[in-house]
């Protein structure tokens, strides 16, 4: 019974985490970059000025920009899911 509960809970936790990260990109400019998952074919060409492509794979493009409202701009360019990249996290850096 415990394994069944865990198997049901893990997808819900993953979906909640992805939803939270996507919401951060919509309402906040805290992240210095973003990962656009499953971008459209013309995504890179549709990026606004001031957005730099810093990495990529067959299913994602990683970008960096100082522009405000980066998340909505990436959705407008053709990203299907935008997640933050470059956030420092909750823990302080060691050896300050």
| Percentage with pLDDT > 70 across the chain | 91
Look at residue 35 in the predicted model and tell me its pLDDT.
96
Q: What is the DSSP code (8-state) at residue 7? A: H
Residues 6+ apart with CB under 8 A from 32: 64, 65, 66, 85, 86, 87
Provide the pLDDT for residue 88. Answer: 73
pLDDT (average), residues 50-72? 96
What does the alpha-carbon distance between residue 74 and residue 43 come to, in Å, rounded to a whole number? 8
Average pLDDT (58-78) is 96
Residues 6+ apart with CB under 8 A from 71: 24, 25, 26, 34, 82
């Amino acid at each position: 019974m415990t394994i069944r509960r865990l198997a049901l809970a893990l997808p819900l936790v993953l979906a909640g985490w992805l939803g939270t990260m996507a919401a951060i990109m919509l309402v906040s400019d805290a992240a210095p970059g973003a990962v656009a998952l499953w971008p459209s074919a013309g995504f890179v060409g549709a990026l606004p000025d001031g957005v730099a492509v810093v990495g990529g794979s067959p299913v994602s493009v990683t970008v960096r920009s100082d522009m405000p409202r980066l998340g909505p701009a990436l959705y407008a360019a053709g990203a299907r899911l935008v997640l933050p990249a470059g956030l420092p996290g909750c823990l302080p850096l060691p050896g300050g």
